[in-house]
Structure 1
Amino acid sequence: MPIQVTCPNCLKRFQVSDKFAGKQGPCPACKKTIRVPDASEAVTIHSPENDGPKDSKGQSVLKPITRKDTDFTRRHLYIAAGVMCGMLFLALGFRFAMGGAPFWAQILGILLLAPPIVRTGYSFVYDAELEPYTGVELRNRVLICSAVFAAIWLVYAFLPAYVLELDHANEMSWTTAGIVFSVMLVLGAFVSVAAFELEFINGLAHSGMYFVLVILLALVAGVKLAGEPGSRRELLPDFEDEELEEAFGQMYSAVPILTCSIESAAWSESSCAAWAKPAGCAELTIV
């Protein structure tokens, strides 16, 4: 068994064979003569006494609880990668074959992408100091978190259209869409924190994996999330009220108005009202 030796001059530590125990020799570093300690001079560190119950052989009957590290398995990685590749090919197919993913495909993608991304993301962001969730408990938490993540898309679908009085959610500007997506990201972070007991930063990264990947796949599929022109006047901020009134005034003045005056007994109201409206006349006014 090798003996640990420390040179008292240069404090260099090294090991020598036990056959040199009690002998002297030069230090490999400073070349000064040192003495190798004898085996009897070795320091023995004893473990603390175990006061727990013991069996007839003097061995402790209590066994410590050992922690098993749960590593990210390749099976989860293959499942997540397979789902992502499948969705990517479907997105490209919708883009080139149909010009964009239909509404039912968008809903299906939001629902199908959530469980594998949530499960894979948890393997990267969980607290290593705590024992991770496994088995049925992990499955239930993944399903609940996935359902809430999918429901958060209702914020994008209805909130901007209600607040900005839009016909469709994709009529909002990209600036507004960025704000809405940021709100969705923060809401998802709180969901991850509540579902998996994560720190807020880890929860933000966890929800970001899902929402960023879904947005990227939507853009690949040709889904127009924002920037679409709308039919409402609120979407034309450069068209002022004065310009609108002037345009309607020009249209009104360009239309001829036929006016007949009933001031004498020779012209009765019934005979004037019986006149046919001339071509190009928008209104017949009787004064």
Structure 2
Amino acid sequence: MAINVTCPSCLKRFNVADEHAGKTGPCPACKKPITIPKLDEQVVIHAPKPEGPTDSKGRSVLKTVRRSDGAFDPLVATGVAGVALLSLLAAFLLQGDDNAIWWWAGMCVLLGPLVAWAGYGFLRDSEIEPYTGGMLWLRAAAAGAVFALSWYVYYHLAGVLGESDWLTTGLETWQMLVAGGIAVGIATFASFVALDLEPFMAFFHCSLYFVVTVLLRVVMALPVLPGLVTGDAG
């Protein structure tokens, strides 16, 4: 095998046959004498040995676990989209119904986990191992439940800040901002804790839910926000 040699004078690097090991001769570049290292003086760098059990050739027999790239499931996503479309259709059919507000409240509860699951698929941190399967649905259900609860918080705070008949007389802008801000803050915290989203992404995550549920109110001919009186009670 060839011996790697570096001239100490000109730092020229070249290879010589192993039969010249230990001999002295001129450098082919600068002609100054150099001594060829002996075979037992060469530094040999060995590849690190694998940890754990190995086969007869020294190769590791342990299989690495492949990191999951995402939690997106096309079939489930199609189901979520289908439920959302059916909810919009039902909302359209319930226009003018005396119980429309209660139907809307039920849809808010139903859509919470679904929107939480769908939003997590593209708002999660790609550097963190994603939640999948039952664990994902459990956490999405927890976040979705808090999303629905945040609407209750809005109604409760609106009752505290506004008049006793605020649903018909309406709320002032600052009252809706305070009630809405606290409700969104609670929902954002739920996304942050339940699904390990970054605070900014957690805000957008819960915002998806509020956009969907507000859109349902519009389709059902309810006021865009409870307390925003435009003619009909909401």
Q: TM-score, normalised by structure 1?
A: 0.58
For 2:126 and 2:144, the matched residues in 1 are separated by 22
1:142 counterpart = 2:137 = no
% identical equivalent positions:
31
Once the 2 structures are TM-superposed, how far is the Cα of residue 159 of structure 1 from its aligned partner? Answer: 1.0
2:228 aligns with: 227
Contact 1:160/1:166 (<8 A) preserved: no
2:69 aligns with: 69
Stretch deviating more after TM superposition (101-110 or 194-203)? 101-110
Contact 2:187/2:206 (<8 A) preserved: yes
Q: How does 1:201-220 map to 2 (within 5 A)?
A: 201-220=200-219
**Structure 1: where are the runs of 5+ without partners?**
1-45, 231-287
For 2:131 and 2:89, the matched residues in 1 are separated by 32
Once the 2 structures are TM-superposed, how far is the Cα of residue 207 of structure 1 from its aligned partner? Answer: 0.4
Stretch deviating more after TM superposition (122-131 or 219-228)? 219-228
Structure with greater Cα Rg: 1
Please tell me the root mean square deviation across aligned C-alpha atoms, in Å. 2.5
Once the 2 structures are TM-superposed, how far is the Cα of residue 166 of structure 1 from its aligned partner? Answer: 2.7
For 1:133 and 1:229, the matched residues in 2 are separated by 43
Once the 2 structures are TM-superposed, how far is the Cα of residue 122 of structure 1 from its aligned partner? Answer: 0.7
For 1:196 and 1:178, the matched residues in 2 are separated by 26
Residue type of the alignment partner of 2:221 = G
1:90 aligns with: 90
For 1:168 and 1:146, the matched residues in 2 are separated by 27
Contact 1:118/1:206 (<8 A) preserved: yes
For 1:229 and 1:71, the matched residues in 2 are separated by 42
Q: TM-score, normalised by structure 2?
A: 0.69
**Cα 1:207–1:143 shift into 2, 3 Å:** same
1:20 aligns with: none
1:117 aligns with: 115
For 2:192 and 2:46, the matched residues in 1 are separated by 41
What do the CA deviations read for 1:19-41 (whole angstroms, capped 9, x no partner)? xxxxxxxxxxxxxxxxxxxxxxx
1:161 aligns with: 159
**Cα 1:87–1:50 shift into 2, 3 Å:** same
For 2:216 and 2:70, the matched residues in 1 are separated by 31
For 2:50 and 2:110, the matched residues in 1 are separated by 56
Once the 2 structures are TM-superposed, how far is the Cα of residue 212 of structure 1 from its aligned partner? Answer: 1.5
Once the 2 structures are TM-superposed, how far is the Cα of residue 112 of structure 1 from its aligned partner? Answer: 1.1
Higher relative contact order (CA 8 A, sep 6+): 2
2:19 aligns with: none
Once the 2 structures are TM-superposed, how far is the Cα of residue 123 of structure 1 from its aligned partner? Answer: 0.6
**Cα 1:77–1:229 shift into 2, 3 Å:** closer
Q: How does 1:266-277 map to 2 (within 5 A)?
A: none
1:282 aligns with: none
Once the 2 structures are TM-superposed, how far is the Cα of residue 173 of structure 1 from its aligned partner? Answer: 3.3
Residue type of the alignment partner of 2:128 = L
For 1:139 and 1:160, the matched residues in 2 are separated by 32
Q: Find runs of 4+ consecutive structure 1 residues off by over 6 angstroms.
A: none
**Cα 1:197–1:140 shift into 2, 3 Å:** same
Contact 1:79/1:116 (<8 A) preserved: no
**Cα 1:82–1:100 shift into 2, 3 Å:** farther
**Cα 1:216–1:157 shift into 2, 3 Å:** same
**Cα 1:63–1:229 shift into 2, 3 Å:** closer
1:78 counterpart = 2:78 = yes
1:182 aligns with: 181
Once the 2 structures are TM-superposed, how far is the Cα of residue 121 of structure 1 from its aligned partner? Answer: 0.6
Once the 2 structures are TM-superposed, how far is the Cα of residue 55 of structure 1 from its aligned partner? Answer: 2.3
Contact 2:91/2:219 (<8 A) preserved: yes
Q: How does 1:240-259 map to 2 (within 5 A)?
A: none
**Cα 1:217–1:120 shift into 2, 3 Å:** same
2:197 aligns with: 198
Contact 1:189/1:200 (<8 A) preserved: yes
Residue type of the alignment partner of 2:48 = E
For 2:204 and 2:228, the matched residues in 1 are separated by 27
Contact 2:68/2:130 (<8 A) preserved: no
SS in 2 for 1:88: helix
